[in-house]
Structure 1
């Protein structure tokens, strides 16, 4: 089959899978774009992935869907094999392909389970000499009632048929994917790539985090800066990077630090320096020895000049050695109140935003968390009805923690109150004061003016003056817009607070609304101010 026809057939398979109601379209977009069809016969399809993580993830989550789509389209069961081709990832990222890579030992042949069966885990095998090209002649086996999409029996497939035999383990471009969830006492160990729900709002951040976890230290993504509002999954991605590297590349030392904890340890080391001269040196040495350093909520170090200088020294030292640095914040580097030399260096690698999830993504998160609770928390006798899951997704804010807390509250009510038949009305009454989507609190125009003045560093006198310079007019329009959105006051009342008439207030709101649709910088500044004001 020529390449054009092969790609057409693969496109049909993808379209068919997207038609299944249970699939996550964002996951399909994120992962299937990283697969390439290589060969296809009457009952066999060969695909390649750019790295081991993509291969294993698709095998565990979507191989049965691929087989189902092939059966639906062609009427016969198909064997599907996925191999790793590092050159494919090099083409996609524009980086040089590795000169050598070690193929793991061929995997034993196995039937692919039905969609209801648990995912099959795999582990990296010891390197062996490259095998000869395998004979991909499938022997179909008839589907059964219990396993309608069983894979035909087929010979073992080398995971990397294109790699030469002279490679060493260190030359493998990405480590093997997670196969089991780690279960130590640290709750952060449960934050992995496999249980991160992917949607359009976080797909790019997920992809870049995965790239960094597979190949830490690449210049193009060093540092990796992840930003977004609180509760959207930044820490989950940071911990997923750490856990992935710890599991698959244990020779690398990863260090995760929350900025508040980093500041606390820095202060302790500084205070102890007078008593023990080595304390500060030991503090610095702990982070300098990291192969991968992850610092969460870097915006917390605003106005902490000495501590920020220490972070900057560590940053420069590690990146100069080709070691990976990952930072996160609730805003983009340029909007963090730090010296320009810091923000420019923080922006020198990959920058990616985690945006608020849409309804579909929130619903997927609710469903996955509800399933986990049923399996792991003793709630197997309960199932949250679909209409209540949708109610939670529609009424929660973008904060994922609030979303999960709502699910937990419903579960506890169902289990401990015996209300297994809870209705939407019951859930609404239970969660009446849970969601924080509205700002029903004692907030005034003066509160908003004060926070806008502080954010943009303008005086109150200038904000309500007749000055029309952009440095004054833009913050003024933002403040007027926020007053309208958060307080829902009449335009005339808002105008009076800014020494303006109602028509000027209308123009300010309209102008900001128009810019919000087109300018990401305006969106980010408004979102940041809304977060600040919501915490008053």
Structure 2
């Protein structure tokens, strides 16, 4: 077959697999984009994957679906071979990979990198030192893992940020001259395996790139173009999940590497305690630094909380520089981009010097995939595979919830509890609507109407009501009108005909406007932020 025929067959396979029962189409779109058909004949096809991780995951979870689709299309059984193409791995902007598993298979094993960062003793850099000579790498085999080490502790996605202690402004920042006798860092490898892994992270258009970069860092930590890796997005979108997934993947597959995960509030606590104990215990400050500087991979969550904490930022900057200059990996997360964090420009520049990727609020398809994932998780944990939740209820939860995944999960949990322990195994959509009436912070609302949305949009974009429902077609007015129609559809689930009447338009104009905004949202980050802000204004009003 020529290349055009092979591509056509693969496109048909992808389309057919998305129609199979139990398959979430958005997950196939995201996942199969990492596979590339190379050769095919009757009864045989060879595909290449971007990484070993992708190859293993496909073979464990989707290979039978691919074979089934090929046999249905061509009428003969197929042998499917998947190889890894290393030239594809090098692309930093590759789309994401594995989707949510349909079962709970053992995690795939990826090859460990060929070398680990050196453990040479060096004087700590000053905050202004942006680079240092990189020591020669040593074999990973020379680093022996702790005999008692097991993968890391769970970090619930909904964990709250502990209260931050105040920094003491007159603390002396003594720099130890050498670290030869520093105590070994406290290892995160001594606690149970976390449930936050790449395997159970649901991917979609909103988080695909961040997910892809996180898996790339986990498979080969320390590569310059992704060091540091900075992931940002609003609360509840999966940043902590990705950081913990990196930690768990490395602990599982490269146990000789030291991984340290810290929430920024924990980092602040550690520094405050070390500084306070400095007068009575001279080694406290040195041990604090060693616990971070000895890491091969340092993961710091919610760095925006370090705003205004100058001393902690200074010491983190020193640790950051030392690790990255020695080729050791740093991963940071925040609820906003580095440029929007209120810190000195030098910190913003360094935080932004590697790979910076955002996670956007999930689209309906991704939220529906998350609902299905939570239900599977419950079935597996409780050994109750016969439990089911009607499709219309799953869709209602996905459409009604806000972008916060924690809110989505709690809604699913509430319905499951009512069905299993509340004597309502046959709940209807009407029952669920009543149960969750006051649960969601966004989504449909009985109190909200089209006039409320029009008023909010008019104020936000500085247009009058006469203009937004009138015949003028200037760009600014048309944009405001289309956004208002889109929000009526999203927040009120109004029929297109009803939306059109509210704006003195017909059904087709309302449909066109909503479709136009949905298309723009996929590419226009500023528009996404504006609509998020508008939704917040509408909810608060």
Partner residue of 1:219 out of 192, 205, 224: 224
SS in 1 for 2:218: helix
Q: Report the Cα offset of residue 12 of structure 1.
A: 3.4
- Structure 1 partner of 2:171: none
The 2-side partners of 1:48 and 1:84 are apart by: 5
Distance 1:305 1:338 in 2: 8
Matching residue within 345, 350, 353 for 2:350: 345
Q: Which residue of 1 aligns with 2:403?
A: 398
The counterpart of 1:273, out of the listed 273, 278, 282, is: 278
Displacement of 1:77: 1.2
Q: Is residue 331–residue 524 contact of structure 1 (8 Å, CA) maintained in 2? A: no
Q: Structure 1 residues 298 and 317, CA, compared in 2 at 3 Å: closer, same or farther?
A: same
Q: Specify whether residues 394 and 327 from structure 1 end up closer, same or farther in structure 2 by C-alpha distance, changes over 3 A only.
A: same
Q: Distance in 1 between matches of 2:267 and 2:343?
A: 17
Query: 1:291 deviation in Å?
Result: 0.7
Change (3 A) 1:438 1:186: closer
CA distance in 2 between partners of 1:52 and 1:28 (Å): 18
Instruction: Give the one of 276, 286, 294 matched to 2:299.
Output: 294
In 2 relative to 1, CA 124–351 (structure 1 residues): closer, same or farther, beyond 3 Å?
Answer: closer
Instruction: Classify 1:421/1:62 alpha carbon distance in 2 versus 1 (closer, same or farther; 3 Å).
Output: same
* Residue 48 in structure 1 maps to residue 48 in structure 2: yes
- In structure 2, do the counterparts of structure 1 residues 313 and 284 end up closer, same or farther at CA, with 3 Å as the change threshold? same
Match of 1:199 among 204, 220, 223: 204
Distance 1:8 1:366 in 2: 32
Secondary structure in 2 aligned to 1:269? helix
Change (3 A) 1:533 1:352: farther
Specify the SS of the correspondent of 2:357: strand
Distance, in Å, in 2 between the alignment partners of 1:341 and 1:266 is 21
- Residue 230 of structure 1 contacts residue 399 of structure 1 at CA under 8 Å; is this kept in 2? yes
Measured in 1, the distance between the counterparts of 2:442 and 2:42 equals 54
Tell me by how many angstroms 1:81 deviates.
1.9
Counterpart of 1:132 in structure 2 is none
**CA shift at 1:4, angstroms?**
4.6
Equivalence for 1:424? 429
Distance in 2 of aligned mates of 1:50 and 1:124 = 13
| Contact 2:13–2:69 (8 Å) recurs in 1 | yes
- The count of aligned residue pairs is 417
Taking structure 1 as reference, are residues 286 and 184 closer, same or farther at Cα in structure 2, changes over 3 Å only?
closer
CA contact (8 A) 2:140 2:256 kept: no
Greater shift in the superposed pair: 311-320 or 514-523: 514-523
Alpha-carbon distance in structure 2 between the residues aligned to 1:490 and 1:85: 49
Q: Which moved more, 1:501-510 or 1:405-414?
A: 501-510
**Which residue number in structure 2 is paired with residue 157 of structure 1?**
none
Give the Cα–Cα distance (whole angstroms) in 1 for the partners of residues 394 and 336 of structure 2: 30
1:435 maps onto 2:418 in alignment: no
Which runs of 5 or more residues in structure 1 are unaligned? 96-114, 128-167, 172-181, 441-483
Secondary structure at the aligned position of 1:190 is classed as: coil
Tell me the residue number matched to 2:491.
none
Aligned-partner Cα distance in 1 for 2:383–2:343: 47
Aligned to 1:407: 412
Query: Matched residues in 2 for 1:501 and 1:126: separation?
Result: 58
Give the superposed CA RMSD.
3.9
Could you tell me how far 1:244 is from its partner in structure 2?
Answer: 0.5
Distance 2:400 2:102 in 1: 31
Instruction: Provide Cα deviations, 1:44-80, integer angstroms capped at 9, x if missing partner.
Output: 2222223210101111221111101111111111121
Q: TM-score, normalised by structure 1?
A: 0.68
1:6 aligns with 2:6: yes
State the secondary structure of the residue aligned to 1:260.
helix
Q: 1:439 touches 1:486 (CA, 8 Å); kept in 2?
A: no
Deviation at 1:187, TM superposition (A): 5.2
Q: Could you tell which deviates more after superposition, 402-411 or 377-386?
A: 377-386
Instruction: Note if 1:360 corresponds to 2:365.
Output: yes
State the shift of 1:424 in Å.
Answer: 1.4
Counterpart in the other structure of 1:464: none
> Match for residue 256 of structure 2?
251
- Report which structure shows greater RCO (CA 8 Å, sep ≥6): 2
1:523 shift after superposition: 4.8
C-alpha spacing 1:512/1:334, structure 2 compared with 1 (3 Å): farther
1:241 to 246, 252, 259: 246
What is the DSSP-based 3-state SS (H/G/I as helix, E as strand, rest coil) of the residue aligned with 1:361? Answer: helix
- Is contact 1:303-1:338 (8 Å) kept? yes
What SS does the aligned partner of 2:292 have?
Answer: helix
2:154/2:196 contact within 8 Å kept: no
Paired residue secondary structure (1:418): coil
Partner Cα separation in structure 2 for residue 36 and residue 73 of structure 1: 18
1:534 Cα offset (Å) = 8.4
With 321-330 and 420-429 compared, the bigger mean Cα shift is at 420-429
* Residue of structure 2 in register with 1:334 after alignment: 339
Question: How far apart in 2 are the matches of 1:262 and 1:315?
Answer: 13
Farther-moved stretch of structure 1 (6-15 vs 347-356): 6-15
